[in-house]
Amino acid sequence: MAPPSEVTFDEKKAYVAQEGDGQAFFDDGREIGLLHFLYSHPSIDQMRGSPLKVLQAIDEYGRTKKYLMNVGEDKGKIVTNLIAEVKPKTMVELGGYVGYSALLFGNAVREAGGHRYISLERNPEFAAVIMSLVDLAGLNDVVRVVVGPSAQSIKRLHENGTLQHIDLMFLDHYKPAYTTDLKLCEHLGLVTAGSVLAADNVIKPGNPPYLAYVRSSVTEKRERYENGEAEKESADFADRTRNQYIKREGEEKLSTEIKGNPNLRYESRLVHSFEPTGEPDGIEITRCVAEE
User: Residue 85: CB partners within 8 Å, gap ≥ 6?
Assistant: none
pLDDT given for residue 70 in this prediction: 98
pLDDT given for residue 254 in this prediction: 77
Residue of 107, 225, 119 lying closest to 169 (CA atoms): 119
SS3 percent helix, strand, coil of the chain, rounded to 5, is 40, 15, 40
Q: What are phi and psi of 13, to 5 degrees?
A: -105, 15
Are the C-beta atoms of residues 97 and 15 closer than 8 Å to each other? no
For every residue of 91-118, DSSP letters joined together read EEEE--TTSHHHHHHHHHHHHTT--EEE
Give counts: helices (H), strands (E), the chain.
Answer: 12, 7
pLDDT tens string, the chain, 292 residues long: the values are: 656 767 899 999 999 999 998 899 999 999 999 999 999 999 999 999 999 999 999 999 999 999 999 999 999 999 999 999 999 999 999 999 999 999 999 999 999 999 999 999 999 999 999 999 999 999 999 999 999 999 999 999 999 999 999 999 999 999 999 999 999 999 999 999 999 999 999 999 999 999 999 999 999 999 988 887 765 555 565 655 555 556 666 666 676 778 899 999 999 999 999 999 999 999 999 999 999 9
Q: How far apart are the two ends of the chain, measured CA to CA in Å?
A: 34
Are the C-beta atoms of residues 273 and 198 closer than 8 Å to each other? no
Which of left, alpha, beta for 75 (phi over 0: left; psi -120 to 50: alpha)? Answer: alpha
138, HSE (Cβ side, Cα atoms, 13 Å)? 11
pTM of the model: 0.93
pLDDT given for residue 78 in this prediction: 98
User: Residue 34: CB partners within 8 Å, gap ≥ 6?
Assistant: 58, 61, 65, 68, 98, 129
Length of the chain: 292
- Round to whole Å and give the CA distance between 140 and 18: 31
